[in-house]
Amino acid sequence: MRRFPRTAVLVVAVAVAAMLLVACGSSSSSSNKASNGTTTSAVNIASSTGNKACPYKFALITHADNGQFWGVVFRGAKDAAADLGCTLTETYGSQQQGQAEPDDNAENAQINDAINAHVDGIAVSDHDPALMNPTLAKASAAGIPVVLLNAGCDDADIAASGALTCVGQPEQLAGQAAGAKFKQLGATNVLCIIHQSGQNLLDRCNGIAQALGVGQQCKSGSAPSSGPACTELTLSTPNAASNPQQAIGQVTAYLQAHTGINAVMALNNAIGTALVTSNPPGNPKIGTFDLNSGVQSGIQSGKLAFAIDQQEYLQGYLPIVFLDLYKRKNGQTVGGGTTVASGPLVVTKSNIGKVSAAIAAGQD
């Protein structure tokens, strides 16, 4: 994926958000989640307390509502709507707790529902671009602005969907950050654990390989006896992220059979936390993606070397800001048809204190 400077764009975004807060005035928030988790329901997140409220209704559509990560994304979108005084029509994700994979057809149907409801903008995870891009392009053609989030952060998909931009973590760039950190720690024979199928996860592993200097792809199969090397292990346990203890058995067996591995990268915080507490054979350096209280404890204790934080709160918050900006300020846009990066931030023992307050507040 293309590299781009995220700092300048995010500074602009924060400044814009501050400007819009002044324009919208103060608000109070309330929300009512649908009981089945998938029903689209209009939620008036904020009401005016004297100044004119934001008149726009935005839809939030994601491919998952499955655990702590997406709860933080939803919180970001709710907070943005409350801060701006807009109405957020929440369509909770198609993957519910206990399901092995998201239901992309269900998410695509939810996008069509939002179009038919004539919402003023759509913030959506483009989880299956081949399926969803034509539908999203239909929204854009109907005059409904689209901002992608989390999934679909690729220049080609942004263009094909007609989206203004995508807010998310460039996965290959994130993998490169992880590989560079392992290299700095002197651990260069890396096992990259894939907890479910998905091209974005392969991109993470490939980024690790590139940072280690072992080519453009992380290899599958048996790990070599020494590094530098990157080897992928795709877990066969159904819904490994929801059953991490079962998945750890596969990882343990692999490490016992490949004693030259000196680093393990988990692409999910549930797997990463479970791996730390399992005392894996060979005492490898362990890194993971995303943060939660278990990851925080692991980093603070020194058992977890680092985490790659994609700052998912921003993946919910910024799309609502960008949609409001587009509607309120005569079509002004951010991102230039490429991705506004919400990460990667490498979190270690030296800087975990800076993000602990956000974790406690449900913002990371």
Mean pLDDT across the stretch 68-88? Answer: 91
Q: Which residues, other chains included, contact 76 with Cβ-Cβ below 8 Å and sequence gap of 6+?
A: 312, 313, 314, 315, 316, 317, 318, 363
Instruction: Name the amino acid, one letter, at 44.
Output: N
Whether pLDDT at 179 is above 70: yes
Fold entry, domain 171-309: Rossmann fold (3.40.50)
Diameter of the chain by CA atoms? 68
Whether pLDDT at 83 is above 80: yes
Specify whether the CB–CB gap between 295 and 288 falls below 8 A.
yes
Q: Which two tokens stand for residue 149?
A: 């989030």
Mean pLDDT of 181-192: 96
Q: Which of 140, 139, 39, 57 is nearest to 96 (CA)?
A: 39
CA distance 113 to 59: 10
Fold designation for 6-169+311-344: Rossmann fold (3.40.50)
SS3 74: helix
Residue 44 dihedral angles phi and psi, to the nearest 5°: -80, 95
Phi and psi at residue 309, to the nearest 5°: -100, 120
Residue 73: pLDDT band with limits 50, 70, 90: very high
Q: Is the pLDDT of residue 175 over 50?
A: yes
Output 14-22 pairs: Cβ under 8 A, ≥24 positions apart.
16/321, 16/325, 16/334, 17/80, 17/83, 17/321, 20/84, 20/321, 20/324, 20/325, 20/328, 21/83, 21/84
Cα(290)–Cα(269) distance, rounded to whole angstroms? 6
CA dihedral 69→75→78→79, nearest 10 degrees, is -130
pLDDT beyond 90 at 28: no
Residue count of the chain: 364
pLDDT of 328-362, one tens digit each? 998 989 889 999 999 889 999 999 988 888 888 77
Q: Where in the chain is the domain with CATH 3.40.50.2300?
A: 6-169+311-344, 171-309
Contacts of 119 (CB under 8 A, 6+ apart): 57, 58, 59, 89, 144
Q: So what's the pLDDT on residue 190? A: 98
Give yes or no for a contact between 216 and 206, defined as CB atoms under 8 angstroms apart.
Answer: yes
- The predicted model scores a pTM of 0.74
As a whole number of angstroms, the distance between CA 328 and CA 18 comes to 14
Q: pLDDT per residue over 91-115, tens digit each?
A: 777 766 556 677 888 899 999 999 9
